[in-house]
Amino acid sequence: DWEDIAFDGTYFYIGDFGNNLNGSRTNLKIYKFPFSAIPGYASDPVAIIPDQQVEVINFTYSNQPQPPVATAVNATKFDCEAMIVDNGNIHLFSKNWIDNNSTHYIINSINAGTYVADSVETLATGYLVSAADKVAGQNIIILLGYQPSGAGSHFMHILSDYKADSFFTGNKRRIDLPDASVMAQSEGITFRDGKYGYISNEKFVRTVGP
């Protein structure tokens, strides 16, 4: 269940760590491959990345019991849809269906292997975090997400002036965005530069019973 993508200037990282079914996945992973593996579009508009150029980063969460205990659907603290890569580390931001907050985990490597993602801090977002990005060249991180009930209100946190890798220690500005009736269910965010960014969403259907 691919959930997010990050780029560090040399490698792409694809997060295969969606875990909302019952919170008990044991094969959480991130795929890594070099930008140079993608041929020029003009010469080859349909690209295939050779298997030997794709590395796999496997991980577990430091504060999740192993083996994981199954929960009901959408009732786990250990779902994740948001990732950035910065300074040789992988940063994950959980989608906590229980408490509507987000825990920041760090994998202290970008190399293939098996790791424990360390829980370092938690932010009381009040919504489910579905995407993250870092503004290139600036210490600004963006979290995006929505509330799973009511009108599906959306929010964005701008994190700045933080200390080292403790992203929740600085300025935490929350921006209110339209609800799902306007912007559907937002799932991805990326910034082109320090001024402009893009949000992607998916089709949203809600049936109201009698």
Q: DSSP characters for 172-204?
A: EEEEEE--HHHH-EEEEEEESSSS-EEEEEE--
Closest to 12 (Cα-Cα) out of 110, 107, 94, 82: 110
d(CA 96, CA 81): 10
Segments of the chain scoring below 70 in pLDDT: 204-210
DSSP 54: -
Q: How far apart are CA 157 and CA 179, in angstroms?
A: 16
Q: What does the angle CA 151 – CA 153 – CA 159 come to, to the nearest 5 degrees? A: 170
The Cα–Cα gap between 32 and 112 comes to: 8
67-85 tens-digit pLDDT: 999 999 999 999 999 999 9
Q: How long is the chain?
A: 210
- Contact (Cβ atoms closer than 8 angstroms) between residue 13 and residue 133: no
Q: Around 35, how many Cα atoms within 13 Å sit in the side-chain half-sphere?
A: 8
Please tell me the pTM assigned to this model: 0.94
> How many Cβ atoms are within 10 Å of 90's Cβ, its own excluded?
24
3-state helix, strand, coil in the chain (%, to 5): 5, 45, 45
Question: What's the pLDDT at 83?
Answer: 98
Q: Which two tokens stand for residue 150?
A: 């009511």
Query: Distance between CA atoms of 108 and 115, rounded to whole angstroms?
Result: 8
Q: Any idea what DSSP says for residue 53?
A: G
